[in-house]
Amino acid sequence: MVEDTKSNIAFWEKSEKPPRSDVLPKLAEVLGVSVDQLLRPHAKPRQQAGPVGRLQRVFYLAAELPRSQQDKVVDVLESLIRGMHGAS
Domain boundaries, the chain: 1-43, 47-88
User: 62 and 70 in contact (C-beta within 8 Å)?
Assistant: yes
5 versus 79: which is more confidently predicted? 79
Residue 88 has pLDDT above 70, yes or no: no
| Beta carbons of 36 and 43 less than 8 angstroms apart | yes
Q: What are φ and ψ of residue 41, in 5° steps?
A: -65, -25
pLDDT of residue 72: 92
CA distance 80 to 72: 12
Measured in whole angstroms, how far is the alpha carbon of residue 12 from the centre of its chain?
14
pLDDT digits (tens, 9 = 90+) for 18-45: 677 888 888 888 788 888 887 777 776 6
60-78 average pLDDT score: 90
